[in-house]
Structure 1
Amino acid sequence: MTESAAEWASPVDVRATYPGLRPVRDTPSEAADFLAEVRSAGEKWADGHHGDVVSVLLEAAGDDPELAELVRGSGSIIEEFLEGFRRNAVKPQKDLAADLVAGREVPKSVLHGLAPRYLVVIARGSVAEQFTGVPDEIAGPGVLSTSHDGDLVLLVPDTDAGRRSRITEHLAGRLDGNGWIAVARRGRAKLADGFREAADVLRLVAAGRRPSGMYSVPDVLVEYAVIRHQEVAQNLVDVIKPLRAHTALWETLAALIAADYNRNKAANDLFIHRSTLDYRLQRIASVTGCDPTSGRGVQVLTAALIADSVR
């Protein structure tokens, strides 16, 4: 029976199939209520032994002899029941976490069996490369894991703040100064949106060469706003585009940002004299129109470099 037939079947259909039977209910709404009860019983049925179906439906019929007769003799009623069962049947999930973060449809019974809210965790670096699982005494039940483009993805039930902290602290401790963790919080029906947010945060901290650690949107508010506004992002890319023709200047700006604007450290990281660094910064100002030695210039150039890196 098709879905539309199952949903719109009426007492008239049953009487046409079984003309010898009197109407089992005086109004269509009562008959519809009975069919709804049948569908509900089918959705809850988990035994899998078809020989028990009639017994279950006879209980639904109660003391009404006409309903009991329908249960015994009506193939359409049995089909309604089995249709409900098939709709709610749970197929094995090869990678439930991957399906959830990708926004793929999962059976409602599976979705309803999940925690109400989750912490979406994406880890990149040594913790992702060497991940063998969060110890049971730390993770507890219900943590889902998968991988995405080499990154580790965890869905941590967001029902216990202490447990959530233990897991994130465990992962942060395993970064060993190499890589980042990005997190976002969402309800179980919006995990794909949470994954996109955490992935954006991870892209931003990687592009900005932030120190190894754990980050969320509040840590990258300016950059996050930029990439969410395509016109602004493109304008910033245009600002920094001329540096593409000057490899040394591009590397100098990247080193300055990575050094958190400490010019002595940037010069050491580049293995150049401080005066050479200062000259290059002047050239960057000339090429881009933004002075990397000023607060505003650094802000614009940093946002531009990140916008170029994540586009």
Structure 2
Amino acid sequence: MSDSSSEPVDFLARVRAVGEKWSGDRHGELVDVLLQAAGDNPELANLVRSSGSILEEFLEGFRRNAGQATSVPRDLAADLIAGRAVPQPVLDSLATRYLVAVVRSGASGRGKAVSAELAGPGVLSTRHDGDLVLLIPDIDDCRTKRITGHLTQWLNGSGWLAVAKRGRAQLADGFREASDVLRLVAAGRRASGMYSINDVLVEYAVIRHEEVTENLVAVIKPLRAHAVLWETLTALIDADYNRNKAAKNLFIHRSTLDYRLQRIAGVTGCDPTSGRGVQLLTAALIADSVR
């Protein structure tokens, strides 16, 4: 190599210069690019030729690995339910239809994981606001029922499983529907289990109409200032409107419960001892919880 001590430094500077102009997508031309930096120095040219092929192979391996890593997003399920764009080849590789399942376990186990065996092969999973979201390929009714059955058992009587079916291009819409169902069954204090839109049609219609929702919230709002009465109403709903059961759950006499229900009627203008009144109050409680 030349005796000039500045030659290696100059060479590296020229390498950086050509590197700034290189598009990076033609690894097979890397040697030619580096030869430009070597200029007329034969020793540097030989160095480029001997080491350039090694660099080419290294970059080709890196390119292939990077291509694989970016072809499938790290959290594909999260991208799909958010409606974010995914590469078309990735979308085409998915099942035609999916069962979107949003799972919320009880307070003590909200963060617990679902085993791979429970989720099953081909199932995409992610978490959203603490809830587990599963995208289950809807290709086998028996398999889908088995997975949802296992998920219901996994809840162990504490929590809810909300589902919706959609095509692979409409998974964000399916997630919104399942999330709304989950919000409604939780707000309605439903029993633990699996629910779909058909189980909450009335409530779903209510929350889709903003003016109706606000009117219902106005009905229940005065009750917020009366903690005992609020507890009494929720206990009545939990007992499926059975007043004897509600009184037992509250550890109070039935006559005390009836007195409180009269007070609720006075505060809200809706009689919780009548069918229409208790339905309206239940809808108002749900609207207040999900608005």
Q: Secondary structure, in 3 states, of the residue corresponding to 2:234?
A: helix
Could you tell me which residue of structure 1 aligns to residue 250 of structure 2?
270
- The reply to whether residue 305 of structure 1 matches residue 289 of structure 2 is no
Could you tell me which residue of structure 2 aligns to residue 45 of structure 1?
none
1:285, CA displacement in angstroms?
0.9
Regions of 4+ moved over 4 Å: 48-51, 87-90
Matches within 5 A, 1:111-130: 111-126=91-106, 128-130=110-112
Question: 2:72·2:90 contact (CA, 8 Å) conserved in 1?
Answer: no
Matches within 5 A, 1:1-311: 90-126=70-106, 128-135=110-117, 139-311=119-291
TM-score by length of 1: 0.69
Q: Secondary structure, in 3 states, of the residue corresponding to 2:219?
A: helix
1:132, CA displacement in angstroms?
3.3
Distance 1:206 1:169 in 2: 19
Question: 2:181·2:196 contact (CA, 8 Å) conserved in 1?
Answer: yes
One-letter code of the match for 1:232? V
Question: 2:71·2:90 contact (CA, 8 Å) conserved in 1?
Answer: no
1:91, CA displacement in angstroms?
3.2
Distance 1:294 1:140 in 2: 47
Question: 1:237·1:307 contact (CA, 8 Å) conserved in 2?
Answer: yes
- TM-aligned CA distance change 1:271 to 1:158, over 3 Å: same
Unaligned runs of 5+ in 2: 1-24, 29-66
One-letter code of the match for 1:130? K
Distance 2:119 2:105 in 1: 20
1:130, CA displacement in angstroms?
2.6
1:286, CA displacement in angstroms?
1.2
Paired residues, what number?
229
Unaligned runs of 5+ in 1: 1-47, 52-86
CA RMSD across the alignment:
2.3
One-letter code of the match for 1:209? R
- TM-aligned CA distance change 1:209 to 1:50, over 3 Å: same
Identity of aligned residues (%): 72
Distance 1:256 1:134 in 2: 40
1:93, CA displacement in angstroms?
1.3
One-letter code of the match for 1:290? C
TM-score by length of 2: 0.74
1:50, CA displacement in angstroms?
6.7
Distance 2:110 2:98 in 1: 20
1:246, CA displacement in angstroms?
1.2
Question: 1:172·1:214 contact (CA, 8 Å) conserved in 2?
Answer: yes
1:105, CA displacement in angstroms?
1.2
- TM-aligned CA distance change 1:255 to 1:89, over 3 Å: closer
Question: 1:119·1:183 contact (CA, 8 Å) conserved in 2?
Answer: yes
Could you tell me which residue of structure 2 aligns to residue 74 of structure 1?
none
